[in-house]
Amino acid sequence: MSDVLDRPDAKPGFTSVGTRPIRPDGFDKVTGKAAYGADLVMPGMLHGRIKRSPLAHARILGIDARKALALPGVKAVVTGADFPDFAAEILEGGEAASNTRDMAVNIIARDKVLYDGHCVAAVAAISPAIAEAALELIEVAYEPLPHVIDVEAAMAPDAPVLHDHLFTEGVEPRPTLPSNIAKRHEFVRGDVGAALAEAEVTVVGRYTTKAVHQGYIEPHACVASMSADGQGYVWSSSQGHFMVRTYCAKVLGLEISDLRVTPAEIGGGFGGKTVVYLEPLALALSRASGAPVKMVMSRDEVFRATGPTSGGVIEVKLGARPDGTIIAADVTLKFQAGAFPGSPVGAACMTAIACYDIPNFSVVGWDVVTNSPKVAAYRAPGAPIAAFGVESAMDELARKLGMDPIVLRAKNGARNGVKASYGPTFANIGFLETLDAIKQHPNYVIPLGPNQGRGVAAGFWFNVGGESTAAVHLGEDGTATVVTGNPDIGGSRASMAIMAAEVLGVSVDRVRPMIADTASIGYSMLTGGSRTTFATGMAVVQAAEKVVAELKTRAAKIWDVPVEEVEWAAGQAVCLAKPDVRPLTLRGLAGQSARTGGPISAEVSLNAQGAGPGFAVHLCDVEVDPETGHVTVLRYLAAQDVGRAIHPAYVEGQMQGGAAQGVGWALNEEYIFDAEGRMENAGFLDYRVPVASDLPMIDTVMIEVPNPRHPYGAKGVGEAPIVPPLAAVANAVRAAIGVRMPDLPLSPPKIRAAIDAKGA
Amino acid sequence: MSKIHVTTTVNGDAAEFLTDPGTTLLDGLRDHLGLTGSKEGCGSGDCGACSIIVDGRLVCACLMLAAEAEGRRIETIEGMAQGSELHPLQQKFLEHAALQCGFCTPGLLVAAKALLDTNPDPTEEETRYWLAGNLCRCTGYDKVIRAVLDAAAVLRQERRAA
């Protein structure tokens, strides 16, 4: 069980790390005071709306906005012609690299629309209703073109081509004709063909997944204001306000220093708010109208025009010895990128077999453009799709070998010193411990009834570090303000406060964590990649250490001793040279800082390296109703190597939330397109994310194998937990009905059909 | 198009505003009264982020018109705490870490209050089905359900003590 408050005490050797204080921003969030993207009102504010393509693929012949501009109350209309053109450039601003020109054309179409929902124009008016009415008056002439959405259809030689300038990268010789295949990725070791031929036991499978959306409950929203002197201001909900600043400046041709971005509270992102959609449009409308402009997406727009993750095809061959030693893995991944290149197939290739030590492998990935919304990062981008195929195949292999699925995974599992399939050598990883935690858990041996099945699956995510800035300022009463540049997406303020309190030796409630705008703190990469507690936490710790060093200097000055004679312990300076002198508390030192040298504060900017990879193993029990094909999740257990849990309740929360999203991916969620390429289920009624009655309690086991590169041993925890559930659920359904279901989602009609086919 | 004058009660206080006939009650609360604690996640009654209580009944504010608030008694998240004293549900949500991004939290709290107002001792299953109209994408619901059940126990104890 993951009972809260069951470990009220800090970890050995710590006073704050490992405790579960109430989050500092909690009061505002349970009382409705917290301000999210749509909650800001500026004086004289206009309302922006977007004219979207009703076609999946078409050439734009002309846009006539004269009637819209003539409507009373309409203040501005912008189209692609109002934005500068610039050469393609890859920017590492987000969770994944982004091609800024593609992003600009995704934000507002130029000569072609590439998917149903693609923005063709935006309007600002004095009320939302007038803006809405103006959209109807914007006339767009299209020449419809054939479209393609299915990934393998898009790879076919006769497929409609989305981009005339797209030639496949990563193949020799370079193609002479453009195609929808943007890139081929390859990771190879040993001789997989020979090893497969030599293996006594082999399994072969082909698996598919559909595009799914991150499903954050808060739609994209912003308010932007552009002054006549060229100074811009943006308030928006995103995973990184520095990312917003970078991309807006690029798309609009502005100087970075001319933009200031304030982070609103963010109502969920899961990777989907690592790019911009509305902000450059709102700035352009504000520039044209001279007034601030608020833009808020509808849920329909969120589904049709913002990042889902790829649908994919995963082909897997595994070859093993009779004792279960896997000697070969051959994996092919084909991913929908949406309208522009950049599916997460590269990360999928790197993670696909990262859990295992396999001497011969070939992992090949294909990045394919399709007439659907450009994919955005979604929690461990690509890894769940690859793991669905590989972990389903592992389950089949265990069955064929007659081996326990955990024993098979442990026998081949990655351990310290193993060279990972994607390059580096593993150190300080806890995969085997995580597998063992599942095997030892009571859930592993609970007897199952009829129509019930149990599935296990593993998952891997790199976790990342990167650029972060943090500042610590002491108040004259001895309290501390901790300032960072990372939006708090799931409780990170609490862990920042804990880490600062640990260094300063004060209680957590004496530390106030804040998130500052782009003008008030140094650059920080966005909140994503499971990097914030690790990298920004490292900056917080170093800034707090600088403050402690300064406090020691001040104490030394007061005592007139060398600073080496001062020690910092339990929130106070102790004089080693004069043991009978009373220690000076942080409060006391802060109170007299004016007389000892001035305010005490420190800011640290760094580029954190050495994020420890995360491994997760999930165990799922299901019951399948043979009458309806409905799957009930009976029990769910998530185990994960978390390095060290700074605030364990929010670590559990990440594990539970990731598991729930994965269960939705496995059972319910999918983008459904009609014959014309229009999304048919662009709403929460028909795109069904898990609700409270769909899920049981989600039990968690945190394994702590500390990461020595972080001051307190933290590893990223947010992403690994969405990697195993797709296969864990599918393996449980396989056990329950005796049929392998290779195509997600495992919806009731598919399961009924499989049961019927088995009986026939 | 002429505006409609609406007189209503929000969190115990009289309130009045002018509204267009097509404006939803959610937009009325947020834009006319400045009560932005109720959130819009879908505008179609599927996510529950705008849950409010109208004359004792749990509703999605996005599915009512602002004009329909006339003469009603409305409870929103802003009225849940008594001054600086949190409602036990709010307190338990904090203690159990039952929120991550916090966007669905106002709706979940209001919906949970509507449950406990009528059923002081719900089972886990009753709680899960009652809250099935409130989507949360962050937590997987585990800590939410525990917080609601824990708050229910606190409220029962308070009632017994009273």
* CATH code assigned to A466-608: 3.30.365.10
Give the contacts of B157 (CB within 8 A, at least 6 positions apart).
Answer: none
The answer to whether residues B140 and A664 touch, using CB atoms and an 8 Å cutoff, is no
**Rounded distance between C-alpha atoms, residue B48 and residue A711, angstroms:** 41
Closest residue in B to A214 (Cα) is B137
Give the contacts of A57 (CB within 8 A, at least 6 positions apart).
Answer: A112, A113, A114, A115, A144, A145, A146, A147, A148, A160, A162, A371, A677
pLDDT tens-digit readout, A647-678: 999 999 999 999 999 999 999 999 999 999 99
Neighbouring C-beta atoms of residue B150, cutoff 10 Å: 20
Whether residues A268 and B49 touch (CB distance < 8 A) is answered with: no
Model confidence at A699, pLDDT cuts 50, 70, 90, reads very high
CATH of the domain at B42: 3.10.20.30
Helix (H) or strand (E) run with residue A232 in it: strand A232-236
pLDDT tens-digit readout, B96-140: 999 999 999 999 999 999 999 999 999 999 999 999 999 999 999
Whether residues B137 and A215 touch (CB distance < 8 A) is answered with: yes
Q: Is B131 in the A-facing interface, judged by CB distances under 8 Å? A: yes
The last residue of one of the domains, among B79, B109, B128, is B79
Same domain, B99 and B53: no
pLDDT confidence of residue A3? 34
ipTM of the complex: 0.98
Same domain, B103 and B141: yes
Whether residues B102 and A27 touch (CB distance < 8 A) is answered with: no
> Strand, coil or helix: what is A531?
coil
The answer to whether residues A204 and A331 touch, using CB atoms and an 8 Å cutoff, is no
Closest residue in B to A39 (Cα) is B36
In chain B, the number of structural domains is 2
Neighbouring C-beta atoms of residue A356, cutoff 10 Å: 24
Model confidence at A5, pLDDT cuts 50, 70, 90, reads very low
**Rounded distance between C-alpha atoms, residue B76 and residue B54, angstroms:** 9
pLDDT confidence of residue A186? 97
Q: Is A263 in the B-facing interface, judged by CB distances under 8 Å? A: no
Q: Does the pLDDT at position A638 exceed 80?
A: yes
Report the residue from A29, A491, A692 with minimal CB separation from B105.
A29
Same domain, B150 and B111: yes
Sort residue A512 into left (φ over 0), alpha (ψ -120 to 50) or beta. beta
Closest residue in A to B95 (Cα) is A22
Least confident interval from A11-20, A38-47, A562-571, B26-35: A11-20
Same domain, B22 and B56: yes
DSSP letter at B24?
Answer: B
Whether residues A695 and B140 touch (CB distance < 8 A) is answered with: yes
Tell me phi and psi for residue A497, to 5 degrees: -65, -40
**Rounded distance between C-alpha atoms, residue B59 and residue B41, angstroms:** 14
Q: Which two tokens stand for residue A126?
A: 């004095």
Long-range Cβ contacts of A549-554 (<8 Å, 24+ apart): A550/A600, A550/A602, A551/A586, A551/A589, A551/A600, A553/A597, A554/A589, A554/A592, A554/A593, A554/A596, A554/A597, A554/A600
The last residue of one of the domains, among B44, B62, B79, is B79
Closest Cα to residue A223, out of B61, B108, B36, B21? B36
Closest residue in B to A696 (Cα) is B142
> Strand, coil or helix: what is A477?
coil
DSSP letter at A264?
Answer: P
Report the residue from B95, B127, B145 with minimal CB separation from A5.
B95
Bond prior to A173 in cis (omega within 30° of 0) = yes
Report the residue from A4, A39, A267 with minimal CB separation from B101.
A267
Residues 75-114 (B) with a CB less than 8 A from some CB of A:
76-78, 80-81, 86, 90, 93-97, 99-106, 109
Q: Does the pLDDT at position A229 exceed 70?
A: yes
Which pTM value belongs to this model?
0.97
Residue count (chain B) = 162
Average pLDDT over residues A507-535: 96
Same domain, B31 and B62: yes
pLDDT confidence of residue A579? 86
Q: Is A266 in the B-facing interface, judged by CB distances under 8 Å? A: yes
pLDDT tens-digit readout, B80-95: 999 999 999 999 999 9
Q: Does the pLDDT at position A511 exceed 80?
A: yes
Q: Does the pLDDT at position A604 exceed 50?
A: yes
DSSP A665-700: HHHT----B-TTS-BS--STTTS----GGG---EEE
pLDDT tens-digit readout, A116-127: 999 999 999 999
pLDDT tens-digit readout, A196-223: 999 999 999 999 999 999 999 999 999 9
Could you tell me the residue range of the domain that residue B49 belongs to?
A: 4-79
Same domain, B92 and B157: yes
Q: Is B154 in the A-facing interface, judged by CB distances under 8 Å? A: no
Same domain, B69 and B102: no
Across chain A, mean pLDDT equals: 96
Whether residues A693 and B81 touch (CB distance < 8 A) is answered with: no
Model confidence at A153, pLDDT cuts 50, 70, 90, reads very high
Closest Cα to residue B135, out of A368, A695, A341? A695
DSSP A121-185: EEEEESSHHHHHHHHHH-EEEEEE-----SHHHHHSTTSPPS-TT---BS-SSPPSS--SEEEEE
Partners of residue A129 in chain B, C-beta under 8 Å: 20, 22
The answer to whether residues A641 and A701 touch, using CB atoms and an 8 Å cutoff, is no
Residue with tokens 């004089």: A575
Same domain, B100 and B156: yes
Strand partners, A636: A620, A698
pLDDT tens-digit readout, A427-479: 999 999 999 999 999 999 999 999 999 999 999 999 999 999 999 999 999 99
Q: Which two tokens stand for residue B93?
A: 């949500």
pLDDT tens-digit readout, A299-350: 999 999 999 999 999 999 999 999 999 999 999 999 999 999 999 999 999 9
Closest Cα to residue A243, out of A212, A277, A217? A277
Cα A85-A90-A95 angle, rounded to 5 deg: 120
Pairing verdict, β A511-515 and A480-484: parallel
Partners of residue B125 in chain A, C-beta under 8 Å: 693
Closest residue in B to A34 (Cα) is B37
Tell me phi and psi for residue A651, to 5 degrees: -70, -50
> A382-463+612-759, what's its fold?
Aldehyde Oxidoreductase; domain 4 (3.30.365)
Buried b / exposed e over A601-627, threshold 16 CB at 10 Å, is: bbbbbbebeebbbbbbbbbbbbbbebe
Helix (H) or strand (E) run with residue A566 in it: strand A566-569
Q: Which two tokens stand for residue A643?
A: 């390095």
Neighbouring C-beta atoms of residue A677, cutoff 10 Å: 18
Which stretches does DSSP call E strand in chain B? 4-10, 13-19, 51-54, 57-60, 73-75
CA-based Rg of chain B, rounded to a whole angstrom?
16
Whether residues A490 and B93 touch (CB distance < 8 A) is answered with: no
The last residue of one of the domains, among B79, B112, B130, is B79
pLDDT confidence of residue A95? 59
Considering chain A, tell me which residue range(s) the CATH 3.30.365.10 domain(s) occupy: 382-463+612-759, 466-608
Q: Is A308 in the B-facing interface, judged by CB distances under 8 Å? A: no
Whether residues A30 and B142 touch (CB distance < 8 A) is answered with: no
Q: Between the CA atoms of A166, A170, A174 and A178, what dihedral angle is there, to the nearest 10 degrees?
A: -20
Q: Is A6 in the B-facing interface, judged by CB distances under 8 Å? A: no
CATH of the domain at B139: 1.10.150.120
Partners of residue B135 in chain A, C-beta under 8 Å: 217, 684, 689, 691
Partners of residue A269 in chain B, C-beta under 8 Å: 101
Tell me phi and psi for residue A420, to 5 degrees: -65, 155
pLDDT tens-digit readout, B18-59: 999 999 999 999 999 999 999 999 999 999 999 999 999 999
Residues 711-750 (A) with a CB less than 8 A from some CB of B:
none
- Tell me the one-letter amino acid at A137: L
Same domain, B36 and B64: yes
**Rounded distance between C-alpha atoms, residue A63 and residue A82, angstroms:** 12
Same domain, B30 and B95: no
pLDDT confidence of residue A89? 82
Same domain, B8 and B74: yes
Q: Does the pLDDT at position A246 exceed 80?
A: yes
**Rounded distance between C-alpha atoms, residue B25 and residue A479, angstroms:** 43
- Tell me the one-letter amino acid at A275: V
Report the residue from A30, A656, A685 with minimal CB separation from B94.
A30
Helix (H) or strand (E) run with residue B27 in it: helix B25-27
Q: How far from chain centre, in Å, is Cα A527?
A: 8
Helix (H) or strand (E) run with residue A390 in it: helix A383-401
